[in-house]
Structure 1
Amino acid sequence: MKKNYFTQFDTIRFLAMLGIILYHYLTHRVSGGFLGVDIFLVLSGYLVTSQMESKYQVDIDEGSYFKKTWERMGKVWWPMVIITMVGLTYLLLFRQQLLVNIGINLSTTLLFVNNWQQILSGSSYFANMLHPSLTTHYWYIAVYMQFMVIWPLFFKVSRRFTKTKWQSGLVMLAAALLSGILMAIVFTPGEDPSRVYY
């Protein structure tokens, strides 16, 4: 099975992480650093799609991929629970004023739908953190896990109803363009872009 991984990805990931860190500490100087998150998602998309294509070509049961996805979700979920419990304990002891809406925030975080909860509540990723939340940054894990569940289904349907991987690639490109158009429609220049970002 061909492995489509390049060691340069590690450098790109490092630079993306550096951009994210600098954005949070030097927002006005590195205002575009948050785009590092998009870089992580693009790399994940490439690697996951390449892996699925390789398995499709050698006719490996897709069920094994979904089993690995389930295992991957567990590997993310348990550390997330531990870190969240540590953070929650700290808030209970020292910062109880930050426990506003903690019930819905925790439940949506543990179910990997935190991004949708933040969209529905009108939360802003880019506003100054006057009232920081324990679960603000879990939206990324939610998006990543939703991708890991939805994208394989989309890939499988696309591959089944097209003759070649290039035709399937065109279907995926069309889906990406549609997503871009929808984001452009939702986005209003001059207003908070959190809805599109989440």
Structure 2
Amino acid sequence: MQCPLNANHQEYFTYVEDGFEVKVEGATLRFVTTPGHTADHMSLWFEEEQTLFSGDCILGQGTTIFDDLYSYMQSLQRIKALKPTKIYPGHGPVVNNPQDKVDEYINHRTARENEIIKYFKEVREASSMDVVNFIYKDTPFAVRIGALGNVRQHCQKLVKDGKLIELTKEYYKYVDGSPETK
């Protein structure tokens, strides 16, 4: 007898993409791409209830980690546009005020980005860890190491937005529009 895991995986899996629907009596689930937490992250839209199963994109409490902040912010805007009545997260309690929760996530990331930009306006050049040590100066070092990943993502987003230049790996220069910074 052959182990099913060694068999042709096409027999066991259906590969889905954005908009793919699963319909059963009384329920339609539509796959919605929501990259950012991971490049291939998807959420499920429950059409009949106008609710979202958000996976790791939105949590019931706290904020998530992400691989790509630029994509993540776009995913938050996409979720906001769906106007879900509830969000069922992959972790934590049900979100009964989804628009407020999505706004909270957007505002949190925007506030952090503004802190980083303010820091770069003052120092002009800095490493990711310099930014962490400034923003999280009153935080235990072990927590700062955890925050480093998010700060890296913010810096990469700011590079994509044209607000920073990466001079060397994880060392950035602020771009203010003047000829000497371009």
TM-based fold match above 0.5: no
Structure with the largest fraction of strand? 2
Q: Which has the higher contact order (CA 8 A, sep 6+)?
A: 1
Kindly name which structure, 1 or 2, has the bigger radius of gyration based on alpha carbons.
2
